[in-house]
Amino acid sequence: MRYILLLLLLIQSIATSQDGLVKLAEKDRHTFSPEDLLSLKRLSDVQLSPDNKTLLFSLKTPDLKTNTSINDLYTLDLATNKMSQLTDTEESESNARWSKDGKKIYFLSNKMGAPQVYEMDYVTKSSKAISAVANGVSNMSLSPKGDNILFTTEVEVRESLEQQYSQYTSFNALKYSSLPIRHWDTWEDNKASHVHYMPIEGGRPIDIMEGDKNDSPLLPFGGGEQLAWSPEGTEIAYTSKKVDNPARSTNSDIYLYDMRTKTTKNITEGMMGYDKDPVYSPDGKWIAFHSQKRDGFEADKVRLMLYDRATGAIKEMLAEFDQWIDAVVWSPDSKTIYFNSGSKGRVHIYSLDIATNKQTQITNDKTNDDQGLAISSDGKMLVFGRSSTTYPTDYYTIDLGSKKIERRTKVNDFLLIKLHDVNIEERWVEATDGESIQTWVLYPPNFDKSKKYPMITYCQGGPQGTISNYFSYRWNLYLMASQGYIVCAPNRRGMPGFGQKWNDDISKDWNGQAMEDILAATDNLMAESFVDEKNVAAVGASFGGYTVFWMQGNDEGRFKAFISHCGVFDLTSMYGSTEELFFPDWEFGGPYWDDDNEDVYEEQSPHKYVNKWDSPILIITGMKDFRVPYTQSLEAYTAAQLKGLDSELLIFPDENHWVLNLQNAIVWQNEFFGFLKKHLKK
C-alpha cells in the first residue's frame, strides 16, 4: 500500500507541458526570468558521422557571473542518446567536421589567439594544431577525399593609412573614397575575407581570390553555407558580390574555381539579385543554390535554382511554390532535395523530387524545424533542429521511411521542467481591407479569464521578418507572458511565409496597411473581457522600433506606454547614416532628394508626428549599431524630453543592433520589464 501511495504522489508531482516536456508539479515551478533565459545552453552546427551512428555538434554554455560563454564540442550516440563531451577547455571550440573514415575530428579553436584548425583523434581525444594562419581561420570544411581543407581568412587588399604614414605611430584615423565605409558594427579596413585551401597535413594556404578586393562570404552574416566542394574535390564554389556599387546592390554571384587550371568563372552572371549558398549534388551533375530575382531587394522571394554543370543551363525549381526555400541537402542518389520552408508562422521540412519538380511536406508539427538540416549517408534519416516559442532548439531525427521523429538532445530540460507554462493561441484577425492576419496570443501562467491583465503588443522588426513559433534569446514572447502580460504578436503585412505579395506590400508603405494590421490585432484583443484596455503597451526593435515611434504619434490613445529598441525615427537622416543603402533605396523608393520619393519621406517618417506624442517611452540603443545608427534613438529621446514626457534612454556603448553580452542582456531585460511595471498596472 505504501508503494502505491508513493507512486500516486510521484504522479501528482509531475505534469506534461504543451511542448511534451515532463514538468514538475505546478507548486514546484517558478516564473521564467531574464536570468533563466540567459542561462540556457545553445546548440549549433550538427554533423552526422560517416557511419550514421553519432551526432557531432557545438554546445555553448553561458556563465552569468563571469559574463562569458564557452563553446565546447559534444557527441551523441544515436543508439543510446548518450551525450559525451569532447572538449573542455577555457577556450572555445567550434566548426567541427568528421574525417572521411570517422576516425578524426577537425575543428577550430582559439587556443593560440586567432582561431586555427585542430585535428583530434576520435579514440584518444588527443589533438594538435595543423594551421598557423596569421589572421585566423573561419568557415572550415574538408574536401570529399579528405586531402584538403577549405577555409576563409582576411588578407590585405589595399594600402592602409598606417602604411602610408609609417613614420607616425600614434595617430588614429580612417580614410575612404567609396561606399560602403562600414558594415553592421565594423568599420571597413584594408582587408577582405578570401577563400583559401591547404593540404590537410599542413602547408602553405592557397588564396583562390588573390588580387580580388571583395569578400567571401558576404558581409555581415554569410558563413560556410556560401562555400562548397565539388564531389570530385577539384572545384570550389563560393559566393561574392563583385560589383561597382556594393552599398546599393544585392547582386552577388556564385563563382567556380578550378584547382587544376587555377581559373574562375561566374555561373550566375546576368542574374541581378542575391545568388548564393551553392550545394553540389553527390553525382556531380548539379549545383543547387538560392537566388533572389530583384536587385536591391533583400527580402525578395528566395528561389531554388539548379545549375547543370555539363551545359551551364540554370532552371528554377518550384516556381509556383509561394514560399521561401531555406537550407538545402541532397539525397545520396541525387534524386531528391530536402529543404526547410516557412509557412504561416511555422517552419517545416519538405522534399523535392528533381525529376517531377514536385514537393512533399515531411514534418507538420506546431514547431519550427529550421536548424541544422543533415542527411545520413544511406539517405534514410534526416537530422534537424526543432524549437518552439516555449523551448529552445534541440536536435531530432526523422526516419524517412516510417516518418518516425525522435528527440535526441535535452540540453535545457534541467531548467525548462521547473518553469510555469504559458498557453499560446493562434488567432486569425480580420484586417481593415478584409484580409486575415495571423496573430500569436500568449497568456500568463495560471491564466484566469475572469480577471483583467495588462497587454503587450509586440511589433516585429525586419520589416520582412516573420513572427514564427520560434524561441528567441532577445525578444522572448514566453518571457513576456511569464511576467503576467497578455502578449499580442501579429504577423502584419511584410512578413515572409504568407505569400510574396503579402511580404511585398510593406515596401514604400511603412505607415500604411502594416500599421493598420497591428492596430486591428490590438483592437481584437482589447475587446476581450480579460484584457485591461487601459494598460496596453507597444514594444519593438528596428522596424518594430519605427512602429513604436509611429504609434506614439498615431495610435489614437490605445497605448499607455512604449518601448523602442534601435528604432528608425527620421527617414531622411536614416538614409544618410545607414550602411546598406540598397535597403532604403528599395523600401523608400530611393534617396530623399529625388522628387519622386518626397511623399514617402514627408508622410512616413515618425519624427513628423512628434507634436502628437503624449505617452511614456523607453528608448534603447547600441552605439555600435551601424544599421540603424544610435543617433536615431538620440533624436527620438531628445524629442520626448522636450515634449516633457516621462521618457528614459538606455544606451549600450559596446553593443550593436542586438544586445549580445550576457550581463548587458540581463540589464536590458530588467530595464524593459521595470519600465512596463512602472507604467502598466496589473
pTM of the entire predicted model? 0.95
| pLDDT the model gives residue 203 | 87
Residue 17 confidence class, pLDDT cut points 50, 70, 90 = low
Residue 368 confidence class, pLDDT cut points 50, 70, 90 = very high
Q: Does 565 have pLDDT greater than 80?
A: yes
Average pLDDT over residues 261-271: 98
Q: Does 2 have pLDDT greater than 60?
A: no
pLDDT in tens, 197-222: 999 998 899 999 999 999 999 999 99
Three-class DSSP category at 246: helix
Whether the domain at 43-415 and the domain at 420-679 fall into the same CATH topology: no
| Residues above pLDDT 90, as percent of the chain | 95
pLDDT in tens, 273-297: 999 999 999 999 999 999 999 999 9
- How many angstroms separate the CA atoms of 375 and 352, rounded? 14
Contact between 456 and 441 under an 8 Å Cβ cutoff? The reply is: no
Residue 8 confidence class, pLDDT cut points 50, 70, 90 = very low
Q: List for the chain the helix, strand, coil content (%; round to 5).
A: 20, 35, 45
Residue 529 confidence class, pLDDT cut points 50, 70, 90 = very high
Average pLDDT over residues 490-508: 97
| pLDDT the model gives residue 3 | 45
Q: Does 435 have pLDDT greater than 80?
A: yes
CATH entry 2.140.10.30 includes domain 43-415: yes
pLDDT in tens, 603-642: 999 999 999 999 999 999 999 999 999 999 999 999 999 9
Which of 148, 133, 145 lies closest to 197, judged by CA? 148
Q: Which of 368-372, 501-505, 608-612, 675-679 is predicted with the least confidence, judged by mean pLDDT?
A: 368-372
Q: Does 682 have pLDDT greater than 80?
A: no
**What is the chain's mean pLDDT, rounded?**
96
Q: Does 156 have pLDDT greater than 70?
A: yes
Which of 543, 539, 546 lies closest to 618, judged by CA? 539
The more confident residue out of 67 and 3 is 67
- How many angstroms separate the CA atoms of 494 and 507, rounded? 8
CA 32 to chain centre: 23
Active-site residues: which are they?
A: 542, 625, 657
Q: Does 371 have pLDDT greater than 80?
A: yes
| 420-679 CATH fold | Rossmann fold (3.40.50)
Contact between 620 and 629 under an 8 Å Cβ cutoff? The reply is: no
| pLDDT the model gives residue 642 | 98
Q: Does 407 have pLDDT greater than 70?
A: yes
Residue 681 confidence class, pLDDT cut points 50, 70, 90 = confident
DSSP annotation of 421: P
- How many angstroms separate the CA atoms of 569 and 574, rounded? 8
| pLDDT the model gives residue 16 | 61
Helix (H) or strand (E) holding 330, with range, is: strand 328-330
CA 435 to chain centre: 28
Domain positions in the chain: 43-415, 420-679
Residue 22 confidence class, pLDDT cut points 50, 70, 90 = confident
Which of 331, 306, 327 lies closest to 318, judged by CA? 306
- How many angstroms separate the CA atoms of 3 and 23, rounded? 22
Q: If you search the block for the grid coordinates 518594430, which residue do you land on?
A: 544
Residue 19 confidence class, pLDDT cut points 50, 70, 90 = low
What are the residues whose beta carbons fall under 8 Å from the beta carbon of 605, sequence distance 6 or more?
569, 570, 571, 572
